[in-house]
Amino acid sequence: MKITKIFTFDSSHMLDGHDGKCQNLHGHTYKLEITVSDGIIKGGAKDGMVMDFTDLKAIVKQHITDPFDHAFIYHGGNGRESQIAALLESWNMKTLRLSCRTTAENMAVEMYGRLKNAGLNVCSVKLWETPTSCAEYEGG
């Protein structure tokens, strides 16, 4: 059995060296779909559930939406992006350093890993960068 919960958050990023307009600093309202799978719980307060949606929300909030929301997400291995992050941090603005380029594809993999490490039996992460463009990661 699988369940899915949808979240939204706002972040900024840039893709330094990209050959299109995404090379510029810009933001998105991301839509995030988290799907988890497991057997149905038998008995107790959670009887008939894969997991309580409230529990799923709490895990995603702690490991994804709280760190990512309203942050400048940047590739820590990129000098220009790191300089922008340092400037923002000097103004007490929120940043989030990733070890990879901040494409929707890489961010979906990052989020999948964070949720797996938190003990969630996640089977897919779908990250919508715009209403018509998304990346989906199913592990492996």
Q: What is the chain's mean pLDDT, rounded?
A: 97
For residue range 97-106, what is the model confidence (pLDDT) as tens digits? 999 999 999 9
For residue range 22-39, what is the model confidence (pLDDT) as tens digits? 999 999 999 999 999 999
Q: How far apart are CA 90 and CA 10, in angstroms?
A: 21
Q: How far apart are CA 112 and CA 128, in angstroms?
A: 14
**Which residues are part of the catalytic machinery?**
22, 70, 129
Helices marked H in 13-120? 53-60, 66-68, 79-90, 104-117
pLDDT at 12 over 90: yes
- Per-residue confidence at 140, pLDDT binned at 50, 70, 90? confident
